[in-house]
């Protein structure tokens, strides 16, 4: 059974929409980044202002989200100091943002192939359906990424928002949920990739190509740009995994799949 099974499992289930405080949603997004390895224990988070800008919420909402995580012993929040990750034990907080979490048991090749299918479909739909507010959001996120060229952690936070805005614009919650989960696959490796000289510049260039296609409402161009971007993600992740002898297998460290 390959990762495409996720699509059929997702399609057979009911999608439930709940109204919850935004601070909880932001806490879950940050927890997912920690669980996926994009943010590690010992990392200092970006400032409240930068997080609020990247996630397009108020600083009060960010404070509320950080309080949730600090209360659970995940973050250390000390006045006058940068907020630091002190535990990766996020528990159920990450599950809401990764409903199909078993994807971590699949191989890189399976996930890559599924991302191509899912993201092409979402890119075509987004090109047709995306609204002006979402386009402005993507433009702002690219600007934020330009400002984060020397900060891989801030870039990855903004990068995730960029992708999920497009997934949501595709107006199919099943595909968007699957795509969001696939995006989180092996983020600890992705963080090492974007820390390489010039890697963020290349990603931003890919994002601009995707954005330009969406502005033109050109579904074929948007799908092609996503394909180039995903292929680059696959190749750079493959390089790191090859050096570690991990290509072609799922990853399990310390009793949990990664």
Domain containing residue 51 = 19-94
Higher pLDDT among residues 25 and 255, named by residue: 25
Cβ–Cβ under 8 Å, residues 110 and 2: yes
Cβ–Cβ under 8 Å, residues 80 and 128: no
Cβ–Cβ under 8 Å, residues 186 and 163: no
Task: State which of 94, 113, 145 marks the end of a domain.
Answer: 94
* pLDDT for the residue numbered 3: 44
Say yes or no: 155 and 223 in one domain: yes
pLDDT band at 12 (very low <50, low <70, confident <90, very high): very low
Q: How many structural domains is the chain composed of? A: 2
With respect to residue 8, please indicate whether it lies within any of the assigned structural domains.
no
Say yes or no: 227 and 113 in one domain: yes
* pLDDT for the residue numbered 231: 93
With respect to residue 55, please indicate whether it lies within any of the assigned structural domains.
yes
Q: Which of 173, 178, 182 has the alpha carbon at shortest distance from 16?
A: 173
Say yes or no: 156 and 193 in one domain: yes
Q: Torsion angle, CA of 223/14/185/30, rounded to 10 degrees? A: 110
254: left (phi over 0), alpha (psi -120 to 50) or beta: left
Q: Which of 48, 59, 43, 16 has the alpha carbon at shortest distance from 177?
A: 16
Say yes or no: 38 and 145 in one domain: no
| CA 38 – CA 188 distance, rounded (Å) | 5
Say yes or no: 81 and 139 in one domain: no
Say yes or no: 185 and 223 in one domain: yes
Rounded alpha-carbon distances, angstroms, from residue 47 to 31, 81, 152: 17, 10, 14
Say yes or no: 65 and 177 in one domain: no
pLDDT band at 241 (very low <50, low <70, confident <90, very high): confident
The first and second tokens of residue 194, run together, are 């974007």
Burial environment of residue 30 by CB neighbours within 10 A (0 to 12, 13 to 18, 19 or more):
buried
Q: Please give the full DSSP string across 183-233, using - where no structure is assigned.
A: HTTTHHHHHHHHTSTTHHHHHHHHHHHHHHHHHTT-HHHHHHHHHHHHHHH
pLDDT tens digit sequence for 200-229: 999 999 999 999 999 999 999 999 999 999
With respect to residue 9, please indicate whether it lies within any of the assigned structural domains.
no
| CA 220 – CA 27 distance, rounded (Å) | 35
pLDDT tens digit sequence for 93-127: 765 555 555 566 778 888 888 899 999 999 999 99
Say yes or no: 163 and 227 in one domain: yes
| CA 148 – CA 186 distance, rounded (Å) | 21
Say yes or no: 125 and 193 in one domain: yes
Say yes or no: 66 and 84 in one domain: yes
């Amino acid at each position: 059974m390959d990762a495409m099974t996720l699509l059929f499992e997702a399609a057979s289930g009911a999608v439930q929409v709940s109204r919850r405080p935004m601070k909880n949603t932001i806490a879950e997004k940050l927890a997912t980044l920690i669980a996926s390895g994009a943010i590690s224990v010992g990392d200092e988070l970006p400032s409240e202002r930068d997080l609020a800008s990247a996630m397009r919420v108020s600083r009060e909402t960010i404070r509320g989200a950080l309080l949730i995580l600090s209360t659970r012993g995940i973050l250390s929040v000390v006045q006058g100091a940068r907020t630091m990750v002190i535990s990766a034990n996020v528990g159920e907080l990450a599950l809401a943002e990764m409903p199909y979490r078993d994807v971590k048991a699949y191989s890189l090749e399976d996930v890559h192939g599924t991302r191509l299918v899912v993201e092409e479909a979402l890119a075509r739909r987004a090109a047709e359906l995306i609204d002006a507010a979402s386009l402005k959001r993507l433009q702002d996120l690219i600007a934020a990424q330009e400002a984060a060229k020397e900060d891989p952690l801030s870039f990855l936070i903004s990068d995730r928002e960029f992708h999920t805005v497009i997934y949501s614009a595709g107006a199919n919650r099943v595909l968007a949920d699957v795509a969001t989960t696939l995006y989180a696959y092996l983020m600890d490796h992705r963080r090492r990739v974007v820390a390489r000289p010039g890697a963020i510049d290349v990603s931003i260039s890919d994002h601009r190509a995707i954005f330009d296609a969406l502005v033109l409402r050109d579904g074929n161009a948007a799908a092609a740009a996503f394909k180039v971007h995903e292929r680059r993600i696959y190749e750079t992740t493959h390089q790191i995994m090859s050096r570690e002898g991990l290509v072609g297998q799922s990853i399990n460290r310390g009793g949990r799949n990664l």
